Amino acid sequence: MIKVQALNKWYDSYHALRDIHLTVKKGERIVICGPSGSGKSTLIRCINQLEKHQSGSLMVFGEQVDDTPKSLLALRKQVGMCFQSFNLFPHLTVLENCVLPQTTNLGMSEDAAIETALSLLEKVKIQEQANKYPNQLSGGQQQRVAIARALSMKPKIMLFDEPTSALDPEMIAEVLDVMTDLAREGMTMICVTHEMGFARKVADRVIFMDQGQIIEENHPEVFFSNPESPRTRKFLDQLIQH
């Protein structure tokens, strides 16, 4: 579904991603972790071209991704994304947030879009809040709406960029539960997260990044119990101490 080869990204002179190789198959659940500033967010933002890479290749569904409008439109239809900061439209209700992408991007009728939106809001267990505005909801509720909105585009891949890191502890579980359900249903997912319980439970592969590079990728059992790289080991030790 995704093939990244020798991808490099600079912010001016800062080399943020160094020679990244990554292949994601249909139905795979990948967790990316690593210290702050290691390039995790940049990598998933490059995958859906919110950031542009300067060298290397990115293929999604066998198609080379470039910055032509046609390529970007195809990409946005296949790849959904949820951000740390939810990014809901504040002036639209929860329901409208989930209807608008369907009517504007998928060309669906208003009625069909409402029906889909309501069923997705039910799926993320928030249908009773459909007529509220985002600022009337808790952070965990807003993130669940953001997930429903992303799903309303019927993506084949979901990218999550630290979806729970802005949330209070009691709200983290409700978002992770929704993500776990999605994974169980077979959604292909790449999740940047430090929720290692989620990684153990859900991931097929855990990737550790440091200083713009992929240092290690392994099945969670090996990754957590017997990491290959001393840098991974150090990172996991620090996580446990916190």
Q: Which residues make up the interface to ligand ADP (CB under 6 A)?
A: 11, 14, 16, 34, 36-42
CB closer to ligand ADP, 102 vs 193 = 193
Asked whether the beta carbons of 99 and 153 are under 8 A apart, the reply is no
Query: Minimum Å distance from CB 124 to ligand ADP?
Result: 25
Asked whether the beta carbons of 142 and 90 are under 8 A apart, the reply is no
Query: Minimum Å distance from CB 231 to ligand ADP?
Result: 14
CB closer to ligand ADP, 40 vs 149 = 40
CB closer to ligand ADP, 161 vs 174 = 161
Query: Minimum Å distance from CB 147 to ligand ADP?
Result: 20
CB closer to ligand ADP, 142 vs 193 = 193
Query: Minimum Å distance from CB 190 to ligand ADP?
Result: 13
